[in-house]
Amino acid sequence: MFRPRLLLTGLALALGACSPQNQQAQTSAALAEQVLLPAYSRWVDADRTLATSAVAFCSGKEDLNKAREAFFNAQKAWAELQPLLIGPLAENNTAWQVQFYPDKKNLVARQVEQLLKSNPQVDKTTLDKASVVVQGLTAYEYILFDSNIELADAEQKVRYCPLLTAISEHQQELAQRILARWKETDGMLAQLSKFPNQRYADAQEAIADLLRVQVTALDSLKKKLAVPLGRQSKGIPQPYQAEAWRSESSLLSIAASLASAQTLWNGVEGKGLRALLPKEQKPLADKIDAAYGDSSKQLAELQQQPLKHWLSDEGGIAKLNAFYDSLNTVHRLHESELAKALGIQLGFNANDGD
């Protein structure tokens, strides 16, 4: 017997299953589960290793090279998070506790020395109440890599090790707390997966937020290159204004952030922002794919040498400027064409006014 009411109900369900709002919800949930949560988990793992490394190094069970390797891994994990800064880590300036950058006035070096002068046996409890300038990876890098600190000297090692250990403990506790908040019943994982909720009225708002942090991160990558390139100082290179210049890992961090941004675009098994573009927008998707490919190819060549090497002559500066232009293309495609294609008004950029 023909039942028109049942047929209409089935048709409505079928249309709802493939509606834009439903696809946005599926994409947001997939990105939260398969991209963002794993990145936050890797950050926790890297900081746990950092804390173990600091204790091992300071007790003489690990050499300086191993301690530096643990720093590089923690720095990379943090760089991967920067295009994914959504939720508790992006609120209340919490990210400053992880990395104080830019440090235009060398505050890290000065405040580390002032802290150790006033409190030689600084511990995590003391550090938790101190300035963010001395709590994060930039201060950790200063201790491990600054040319004026000789950790092979027993006296200097004794001087800096309490702070090194305290920073690693602070980072480990911070990362674990943020991840725990992500996994709470009404935490970010849930808020990006089921709609409506207390943060998002619908999936469109969640996708807009994800794209917004993506655009902000890409803009930040440009700034991290523009400043040492001298684009803000009449073309005069400023190598000591680069991110992580002491450890010569500036390009490592940029590469990790760029790769993470591309993962948000592609998703896992194709469940990224790219999947939200309709078939008629394939030329735009191809254009963004090509832009990421171009930037990644140029960066792969640049990573063969530290940033300061490329800043030392006109040929290197030309390569860096070409890479900057490629990053600008990626950024602008997301900020304008992708946002427009997805019907998203980005509004305020966290970097505006910098």
pLDDT tens-digit readout, 163-179: 999 999 999 999 999 99
Report the CATH number at residue 47: 1.20.1420.20
CB under 8 Å to 172, separation ≥6 — which residues?
44, 47, 48, 50, 51
Q: Confidence band (pLDDT; 50, 70, 90) for 295? A: very high
Average the pLDDT over 222-226 and give the result. Answer: 96
User: Does 15 map to a domain?
Assistant: no
In a domain, 352, yes or no: no
The reported pTM is 0.92
HSE-up (13 A, CA, CB side) for residue 85: 24
pLDDT in tens, 314-335: 999 999 999 999 999 999 999 9
Does 299 map to a domain? yes
Q: Which amino acid is at 63?
A: D
Q: Which residues in 305-340 are b (16+ Cβ under 10 Å) and which e?
A: ebbbebbeeeebbeebbebbebbbbbbebbbeebbe
Q: Which residue has the higher pLDDT, 1 or 318?
A: 318
Domain count, the chain: 1
pLDDT of 348? 57
80 half-sphere exposure, CB direction, 13 A CA radius:
19
Q: Residue 315 belongs to what domain range?
A: 21-341
Instruction: Specify if 353 maps to a domain.
Output: no
Q: Smallest Cα–Cα separation from 36: which of 294, 165, 210, 235?
A: 210
What's the CA gap between 57 and 141, in Å, rounded?
14
Helix H or strand E encompassing 113: helix 107-118
pLDDT at 353: 43
Angle at 160 between CA 157 and CA 161, to 5 degrees: 75
Please determine, for residue 9, whether its predicted confidence score (pLDDT) is greater than 50: no
Per the prediction, the chain carries an average pLDDT of 93
Can you say how many angstroms the Cα of residue 230 is from the centroid of all Cα atoms in its chain?
Answer: 23
Question: How far is residue 315's CA from residue 313's CA, in Å, rounded to a whole number?
Answer: 6
Q: Average the pLDDT over 182-207 and give the result.
A: 97
Tens-digit pLDDT profile for residues 104-151: 999 999 999 999 999 999 999 999 999 999 999 999 999 999 999 999
- Rounded to a whole number of angstroms, the CA Rg of the chain reads 23
What pLDDT is attached to residue 234? Answer: 86
User: Which pair of tokens denotes residue 13?
Assistant: 């369900």
Give the integer Cα–Cα distance in Å for 150 and 348.
45
Mapping DSSP onto H, E and C, the string for 255-317 reads: HHHHHHHHHHHHCCCCCCHHHHCCHHHHHHHHHHHHHHHHHHHHHHHHCCCCHHHHCCCHHHH
The tens digit of pLDDT for each residue in 36-94 reads 999 999 999 999 999 999 999 999 999 999 999 999 999 999 999 999 999 999 999 99
Has residue 181 got a pLDDT over 90? yes
pLDDT for the residue 347: 75
- Asked whether the predicted pLDDT for residue 5 surpasses 70, the reply is no
Q: Is residue 223 part of a domain?
A: yes
Report d(CA 236, CA 242) in Å as an integer: 13
Looking at residues 188-205, what average pLDDT do you find?
97
Give the whole-number percent of the chain exceeding pLDDT 70: 92
> Percent of the chain beyond pLDDT 90?
90
Closest CA to 260 of 83, 106, 137, 127: 83
The answer to whether residue 351 sits within a structural domain is: no
pLDDT value of position 235 = 87
Q: Is residue 296 in a domain?
A: yes
Establish if 248 belongs to a structural domain: yes
Longest Cα–Cα distance in the chain: 91
Are the CB atoms for 124 and 170 separated by under 8 Å? Answer: yes
Confidence of residue 11 (pLDDT cuts 50, 70, 90): very low
